[in-house]
A and B are shown apart, each in its own frame.
Chain A
Amino acid sequence: MVNCYNYFMPPRITKAAAKAAAAMMAVAAAVAIVIAPAANDNTLRIAATTSVHNAGLTDALVPVFEAECQCRVHVVVAGSGKALKLGEHGDVDMLLVHAPESERQYVKDGHGIGRQTIMHNAFVLAGPPDDPANAAAANTIAEAMKVIANKGAPFISRGDDSGTHKKEMQLWRQNQAENINNKWRIQSGAGMGKALLMADEKRAYILTDSATFAALRGKTDLHIIKKDNPPLRNEYSIIIINPARHPQTNTPLARRFAGWLLSPTARAIIANHQKFGERLFSPAGGAQQ
């Protein structure tokens, strides 16, 4: 009997089994790390728009707040359209978005409460340095876009229901250009950074927020073709997800963060946040730069 055992379980196998056991212990450690405690009362989950992340502002603000509140902040980066949907499902505790019309409707529909504008910058029209459609000759961004539409020059649209996309559609509607041969507009479905890189590759025009554009300086050949005066305002607001609809969200911590974002500390961080020597955002209610 012993011989048969040895036949079917030779020493090689037992050694291999020992190695397998060691591997399994390593795996168990991995599992332990992964199954580590999920979000709890000390964690705030916020959906923040891609332009804020691309500008590096979330990386500047979050650690400071975390130190003060001794809590963890989980930032899920998503376009405003997706962020609003996540909030609707109650998957996040609060939002940082820039789609004022949709936000107002959102609060009216009871998905969010406590909407507050915390900062703003400007929308600008960027494009290839040689400006093939001569859009710079127009007086405003809206008119420049009309010129581009009429000439059929390549234009990159976000196409993802984000704050920038909604603004772009609003500007097209202003010119009644919405349905002008939709095909010529390239629907990228990408975040602001990626869309700018795409515009660079395709030598196309694109509507962008000034912060993301500045953050990508040196990475593209795009120039600012048109800037409105007074600037075409891009407002960023926070919305707290309605606890009446989603009682499991971390409303107290959300309120605390919302309050903190309007504090002098946060406003100083926002005002001083620079990339390549350019200030990217203006805190709400502060002095204009």
Chain B
Amino acid sequence: MTEPASAFAQAVHLLISGDAALWRIIGVSIAVSMAALAAAAPLSIAAAYFLAHRRFAGRRFVLAALQSLLSFPTVAVGLILYLLLSRRGVLGAFDLLFTPAAMAAGQAIIVFPVLTVFALAALQKNDNRITETAKTLGASKLRAAITDIAEARFGIVAALLTGFGRAISEVGCALMVGGNIAGYTRNITTAIALETSAGKFAEGIALGMVLVFLALAASVLLSRLQANR
């Protein structure tokens, strides 16, 4: 079984040698996934806060729907988004197909249910009295919400981490709406799909290693933000 071993060695060499194309691919992955998270996180956290504190008709249904969306196939999201963004589609005039912005939009859609459900779980662990106490002490609704979220920061950061992981490792949507254009919309996952289809396993392994490293780095970075507990 020397092929995997030699492919691994080649992979390490590629990474060390600073191949421009490789680092461009990594850059696209990081930028697109961070943008997706930036777009989805505020909405998700707000939605989670709303779901945690408001009782309304259909709340159970919304929760069930969100949880079922957790495992919605990414390639289906890609297909729907392609149909919307295509020239013939409703949003065709915005010229967004085959751009990194489209990839970010797709990943944001995929990540929204994940972030919301996990943030909601985190908020629900909070003591109910936190917001009530804050309000009786004169905090505005916004300040009370911030306090509550800050109290749940451990779980919310875990939610962000999970969301980032899901965004950066999805391939179905990125492939469909990004088009895997070299130097523009080719990210780590779509590059792995492309390189391995041409039998270039060394490049595929190199990219896979980077993906794992990125997941670890995100974990370390975000755990710093959680403030010692």
Q: 1/0 contact trace for B96-130 toward A, CB 8 Å? A: 11111101100000000000000000000000000
Neighbouring A residues of B225 by C-beta, 8 Å: 16, 19-20, 23
Considering the complex, give the chain B residue whose CB is closest to the CB of A23. Answer: B225
Size of the chain A interface, CB-CB below 8 angstroms:
47
Q: How far is the CA of A72 from the CA of B35 in the complex (A)?
A: 24
Q: A196 vs B30: C-alpha distance in the bound complex, in angstroms? A: 32
- The number of residues on chain B lying at the interface, defined by a beta carbon within 8 Å of a beta carbon of chain A, is 44
Flag A75-100 by CB within 8 Å of B: 1 or 0 each. 11100000000000111000000000
Across the interface, B198 reaches (CB within 8 A) one of A24, A90, A91, A215, namely A215
The answer on a CB contact under 8 Å between B37 and A27 is yes
Whether a CB of chain B sits under 8 angstroms from the CB of A39 is yes
Contact of B101 among A16, A38, A246 (CB under 8 A): A38
Assess whether B80 is interfacial by the CB under 8 Å rule: no
- Report whether B86 and A91 are in contact in the complex, using a CB–CB cutoff of 8 Å: yes
Please tell me which stretch of A112-120, A140-148, A186-194 contacts chain B, meaning at least 4 of its Cβ atoms lie within 8 angstroms of it. Answer: A186-194
Say which residue of A13, A38, A90 sits within 8 Å of B96 (CB atoms): A38
Give the interface centre of A16, A20, A24 by most chain B CB atoms within 10 Å.
A16
Contact A248 B99 (CB under 8 A): no
B36 CB to nearest chain A CB (Å): 8
In the complex, what's the smallest C-beta–C-beta distance from A180 to chain B, in angstroms? Answer: 29
A140 to B167, CA, bound (A): 50
Q: Determine the chain B residues whose CB is within 8 A of the CB of A1 once the complex forms.
A: 138
Does A9 belong to the interface (CB within 8 Å)?
A: yes
Bound-state CA distance A40–B194 (Å) is 26
Q: Which of A34, A76, A77 has the most CB of B within 10 A?
A: A34
Q: What A residues does B86 contact at CB under 8 A? A: 89, 91
**Chain B residues, Cβ within 8 Å of A23:** 221, 225
Q: Given the complex of chains A and B, what is the CA–CA distance between A15 and B87 in angstroms?
A: 47
Q: How far is the CB of A32 from chain B (nearest CB, A)?
A: 9
Q: Is A30 an interface position by the 8 A CB rule?
A: yes
With both chains docked as a complex, state the minimum distance between the C-beta of A58 and any C-beta of chain B, in angstroms: 8
From the candidates B30, B182, B184, B197, name the one contacting A190 in the complex (CB within 8 A): B197
Alpha-carbon gap, A54 to B197, bound state (A): 9
User: B198 and A9: CB pair below 8 A?
Assistant: no
A54 near B227: Cβ-Cβ < 8 Å: no
List A255-286 residues whose CB lies under 8 Å from chain B.
Answer: none
Q: Min CB distance, B212 to chain A, in Å? A: 20
Question: Given the complex, which residues of B lie within 8 Å of A216, measured CB to CB?
Answer: 198-199
B180 touches A30 (CB 8 A): no
Given known A-B contacts A4-B137, A19-B225, A75-B181, A54 and B31 have beta carbons under 8 A apart: no
Whether the pair B197, A194 counts as a contact (CB closer than 8 A) is yes
Type the 1/0 row for B19-52, where 1 means its CB is closer than 8 Å to any CB of A. Answer: 0000000010011101101110000000000000
Residues of B contacting A74 in the complex (Cβ-Cβ under 8 angstroms): 98, 179, 181, 184
Chain B residues at the A interface, C-beta cutoff of 8 Å: 27, 30-32, 34-35, 37-39, 86-88, 95-101, 103-104, 134, 137-139, 147, 150, 153, 179-182, 184, 194, 196-199, 221, 224-228
Which 10 residue pairs across A and B have the least CB separation, nearest first?
A30-B34, A219-B199, A90-B87, A76-B179, A34-B35, A27-B38, A194-B197, A31-B35, A193-B198, A30-B31
Known A8-B137, A76-B98; 18 more pairs at CB < 8 Å: A4-B138, A12-B227, A16-B227, A27-B35, A33-B31, A33-B35, A33-B100, A34-B31, A34-B35, A38-B95, A38-B96, A38-B101, A75-B181, A77-B180, A89-B88, A90-B87, A90-B88, A193-B199
